[in-house]
A = this chain, B = another copy of it.
Amino acid sequence: MRKIIMPEWISVGVLSERTGVSVSALHFYERKGLIKSQRNTSNHRQYPKHVIRVVSIIQVAQRTGFSLEDILLELEGLPNRTRVTIDDWEALGARWQNELDKKITQLVELKEMMADCIGCGCLSLERCRLLNPYDELGEKGTGPMLMTK
């Protein structure tokens, strides 16, 4: 009694529907090697259902700033192509986590910079003095000032 569940095959149209990614983009991903398909007798692509999940990962990764090349490297660029171990997979997972953490750090940094800028007062006057610094300045005596350092 086998516990294996064989893949269900879906067409490119269905994959597109399920993921919200256009057919042309899916073809493109395939050309780039991010996903793979088998062909049926009519030369139509057939994807195992699990590819839905791969495409979802691609989408989210992309929206969060990874390039397709990055994603491909993460998914395919394993140290040795002949024998890939569980260790390899774990290393890959670690690298990916690391990248995610870096990106989160950058977001937090951005938040801080903005808070700084808004906090310093120079961003809260009519229009941004940082961007439009040629308005009459110092006409009022009090009020927002430009920063030195």
Contacts and interface: CB of A to CB of B under 8 A. Distances in A.
Nearest to A85: B126
Given A5-B145, A65-B65, A146-B50, A76 B131 contact: yes
Copies in the complex: 2
Size category, A interface: 35 or more
A134 B104 CA distance: 36
A25 interface: no
Contacts of A35: 131
Nearest to A93: B118
Interface string A111-143: 101100110001110111111111001100110
Contact of A122 (B50, B103, B137): B50
